[in-house]
Chain A
Amino acid sequence: MTSRATGSRRYHGGMKAHVLTGAAPDAQRLRRVLQEELALRCARNPRYSLRAFARYLALDHSTLSQLLRGRRRFTARTIERVGKRLGFAPEMITQLVELERTPPEPWTSRELKQLSRDAALTLAEWHHHAILELTHLATFKPDVRWISRVLDVPVDQVNMAITRLTRLGLLDMRSRTTWVDAAGDAEARLDSLPLRAIGALAGRAQKLAGAGGGRPSHYSATTVAVTTTTSRRITERVERFRREVADLLDADDGDRDQLYCLELAFFPLANLTTTES
């Protein structure tokens, strides 16, 4: 059996059939496979028609016409019928059915995920903070090669960090010679980066989701000194709250018309020895 990324073929019980291999399938690909199959049949037999193809697939010809033009979505039943007729593997049919059931992810949701990853990596990888700190030096050079050498971090890592920091609004490349740490003022910046990063994420998320206009939103963040015992109790409460929110969302069975971002973060800001044994 040969295989290509988009619709290679095999002979299956004497019937020429499509096999989708390689990249993940999607409804567009199924549509293209049908278009290609019809074109091939017409090329072989000039008298072949859409009606004949529809009969072969056991579909109404106007339904097939709309499917081919993208005017109609494939139902699970249609995918199964067409898939079996064209010899798709059962797991491929299942995948295509699942894809049709899943609505496409809105781009705002994709971008929010990206921003969340940006914020998480900004907090987790030390060189993000270090790049911001470097911009405060009189000897700072807005040159990735210099930053890479000073921090001993590969150029690609520096560039990915710069992308994340600018996307979050934590770094401002203001002129060809001036980069500004927009993450906090000079006095507070060491402690404030995690909160600033989360704050930047919340701000960007609100903007992306078009928040405002009287819709409910809430954001707060604070830095606290706390005993180990209380920190554990807070962690438990955060977990309880998370479960409560999950229950609320499970029960939210109306037509969902809003996109929100909920960030929960409670984490140590310094590596201090615990007072409890």
Chain B
Amino acid sequence: MGHPVMQWQILARDPDKLTAFYGALFGWRVNVDNAMGCRMIETGSDNGIKGGIWPIGDEGHPLVQLFVSVDDVPACAARAEQLGGQVIIPPQVLPDGDEMAIMMDTEGLSFGLMKAR
């Protein structure tokens, strides 16, 4: 089954401005009807991977994170550490049941591990 990229997430200083930008450019719509209040993007197509926009505040660095599907989030996080990565946010279970962790690779890029409920 492999480990496909399941989801992308843009970390934004001004999420409202950014959603308005992409809404105007691509017609993307935002759905916040979820327990984390995340701005999930509805692209209007079943193709492509899903994504969302997450706030980081003025102090953060805007970036895109990719979430990779894994069978066991804690085990994969531990394996990533063995390989020289770092755990940024240890494994957490989201209210919808998805499990995720945020890691940093050896280049200093952050990425997510995700196991869908």
Judge whether B36 is part of the interface by a CB distance below 8 angstroms.
yes
Stretch of A76-84, A139-147, A219-227, A239-247 at the chain-chain interface: A139-147
Q: Is the CB of B55 within 8 A of A145?
A: no
* Known contacts A110-B108, A156-B15; A173 and B94 CB within 8 A of each other: yes
Interface size on B (CB < 8 Å)? 28
Q: Is the CB of A145 within 8 A of B56?
A: no
Which residues of A are found within 8 Å of B97, using beta-carbon distances? 176
Stretch of A1-9, A33-41, A158-166, A184-192 at the chain-chain interface: A158-166
Q: Is the CB of B88 within 8 A of A144?
A: no
Which residues of B are found within 8 Å of A144, using beta-carbon distances? 35-37
Judge whether A167 is part of the interface by a CB distance below 8 angstroms.
yes
Q: How far is the CB of A116 from chain B (nearest CB, A)?
A: 10
* Known contacts A144-B36, A144-B37; A111 and B54 CB within 8 A of each other: no
Q: How far is the CB of B105 from chain A (nearest CB, A)?
A: 9
Chain A residue nearest in CB terms to B55: A156
| Size category, A interface | 20 to 34
Interface residues of B in 64-117 (CB under 8 A from A): 86, 88-90, 92-97, 102, 104, 107-108, 117
Q: How far is the CB of A45 from chain B (nearest CB, A)?
A: 38
One digit per residue, 1 when the CB lies within 8 angstroms of any chain B CB and 0 when it does not, for chain A 23-67 equals 000000000000000000000000000000000000000000000
Q: Is the CB of B55 within 8 A of A159?
A: yes
* Known contacts A107-B104, A160-B55, A176-B96; A166 and B89 CB within 8 A of each other: yes
Which residues of B are found within 8 Å of A106, using beta-carbon distances? 108
Q: How far is the CB of A9 from chain B (nearest CB, A)?
A: 26
Q: Is the CB of A160 within 8 A of B93?
A: no
Q: Is the CB of A107 within 8 A of B108?
A: yes
Choose from B38, B60, B90 the contact partner of A166 (Cβ within 8 Å): B90
Which of B55, B56, B60, B95 has most chain A Cβ within 10 Å?
B95
Q: Is the CB of A159 within 8 A of B108?
A: no
Choose from B36, B38, B56, B104 the contact partner of A160 (Cβ within 8 Å): B56
Which of A111, A145, A156, A207 has most chain B Cβ within 10 Å?
A156
Choose from A107, A111, A167 the contact partner of B107 (Cβ within 8 Å): A107
Which of A142, A143, A155, A173 has most chain B Cβ within 10 Å?
A173
Which residues of A are found within 8 Å of B94, using beta-carbon distances? 173, 176
Which residues of A are found within 8 Å of B90, using beta-carbon distances? 166, 169, 172
Interface residues of A in 125-146 (CB under 8 A from B): 142-145
Chain B residue nearest in CB terms to A109: B108
Q: Is the CB of B57 within 8 A of A160?
A: yes
Q: Is the CB of B35 within 8 A of A117?
A: no
Judge whether B59 is part of the interface by a CB distance below 8 angstroms.
yes
Instruction: Please name 12 pairs of A and B residues whose Cβ atoms are closer than 8 Å in the assembled complex, sorted by A.
Output: A107-B108, A110-B108, A117-B59, A142-B35, A145-B37, A156-B15, A160-B56, A160-B57, A167-B102, A172-B90, A173-B94, A176-B94
Residue positions of B touching A, CB distance < 8 A = 15, 32, 35-38, 54-57, 59-61, 86, 88-90, 92-97, 102, 104, 107-108, 117
Closest 6 pairs between A and B when the two form their complex, measured CB to CB? A107-B108, A173-B92, A155-B37, A156-B55, A144-B37, A143-B35
